Amino acid sequence: MRRRLTIAAVALLATLIIAGSFMPLWAKVLFGTPFRDVIIWMPGRLIHFNLHRTVHITAFGITALLAISLAASWPKRVLMALAIGVLALFVEAGEALIFRISMEWPDVLDDSLSVAGALLLSALWRVRTGSSHPAASER
């Protein structure tokens, strides 16, 4: 049951990533994602916050972590991470082609680093637990 929910969550997140990437600009403005810097005022200080990068890192990192958790072996985990990384590259290339904009390489870098971070977390989990599969103790 947990595996099915994880698969459904990965599919949903990938769908949201794709849909969010190809939303019209007016819809992206409603969410605030096309803006590079957001300034949040808190009493006594201003916080500069990059919502665009945060959305990329969070969306791809969580999707990769969930996808990697489905794999039972290290080579399969790496394959899952590569699949999410390719999704990131294809989404950015698709945006460049459809919206006729230049390729957003910093976004690809953020996405790739978050996927690599998810893979590293998976490896650290294995070292910590001695398990070859993150969810082996839950089966």
Q: For residue 86, give Cα distances in angstroms to 75, 91, 92, 126.
A: 16, 8, 10, 24
Residue range 116-136, pLDDT digits in tens: 999 999 999 888 887 655 554
Mean pLDDT of 20-43: 75
What pLDDT sits at residue 58? 95
pTM higher than the cut 0.75: yes
What pLDDT sits at residue 35? 63
Q: CA 38 to CA 48: how far, in whole Å?
A: 6
Mean pLDDT of 45-59: 81
Among 81, 84, 86, smallest CA distance to 120 is for 81
What pLDDT sits at residue 85? 97
- Of the pLDDT bands very low, low, confident and very high (cuts 50, 70, 90), residue 139 is very low
Q: Are 7 and 26 in contact (CB under 8 A)?
A: no
Give Rg (Cα) of the chain. Answer: 17
- Of the pLDDT bands very low, low, confident and very high (cuts 50, 70, 90), residue 137 is very low
What pLDDT sits at residue 52? 83
* Residue 67 exposed, middle or buried by CB count within 10 Å (0-12, 13-18, 19+): buried
What pLDDT sits at residue 40? 66
Domain count, the chain: 1
Q: Are 79 and 136 in contact (CB under 8 A)?
A: no
Q: Are 9 and 17 in contact (CB under 8 A)?
A: no
Residue range 33-42, pLDDT digits in tens: 766 666 666 6
Q: CA 114 to CA 63: how far, in whole Å?
A: 10
Residue range 53-112, pLDDT digits in tens: 888 999 999 999 999 999 989 999 999 999 999 999 999 999 999 999 999 999 999 999
Name the residue range of residue 117's domain: 2-138
Point out which residues pair with 39 in neighbouring strands.
48
